[in-house]
Amino acid sequence: EVQLVESGGGLVQPGGSLRLSCAASGFTFSSYWMTWVRQAPGKGLEWVANINQDGSEEDYVDSLKGRFTISRDNAKSSLYLQMNSLRVEDTAVYYCVCPLFYQFLSPLNNWGQGTLVTVSS
């Protein structure tokens, strides 16, 4: 059974940093592109970033480029999201997601439960 468990969320002041982690199990982690999706309270879904199987390619939504960095450690079956210069509008539940297929463009069929990041003074 695929399991994705996010951690690292919490309360942080504007301008601060957080590093989210996602522990994956139940599938061959190193075979899949991995993705972060976020959802602000009461709002819709926003694709944040993805990373290829060996970590050599990353892609981000334009609005977050330069502040957020996605990375992975295949030996630990873990995905990360380093978030810097956090803003109030970054407050959201952050989901770690594994796609249905191996390739770059794939629907998202395995979602973690999410971790809440709250940016507030």
Partner 1 sequence: DIVMTQSPDSLAVSLGERATINCKSSRSVLYSSNNKNYLAWYKQKPGQPPRLLIYWASTRESGVPDRFSGSGSGTDFTLTISSLQAEDVAVYYCQQYYSTPQTFGPGTKVDIK
Task: Note whether 47 binds partner 1 by CB under 8 A.
Answer: yes
Per-residue CA distances from 8 to 62, 76, 100, 103, 108 (Å): 24, 16, 25, 28, 22
Binding mask 16-45 for partner 1 (x = CB under 8 A): -------------------x--------xx
Binding mask 54-83 for partner 1 (x = CB under 8 A): -----xxxx---------------------
CA distance 47 to 82: 15
Only one of the segments 17-25, 68-76, 81-89, 103-111 lies at the binding site for partner 1 (rule: CB under 8 A); that segment is 103-111
User: Which is nearer to partner 1, 80 or 95 (by Cβ)?
Assistant: 95
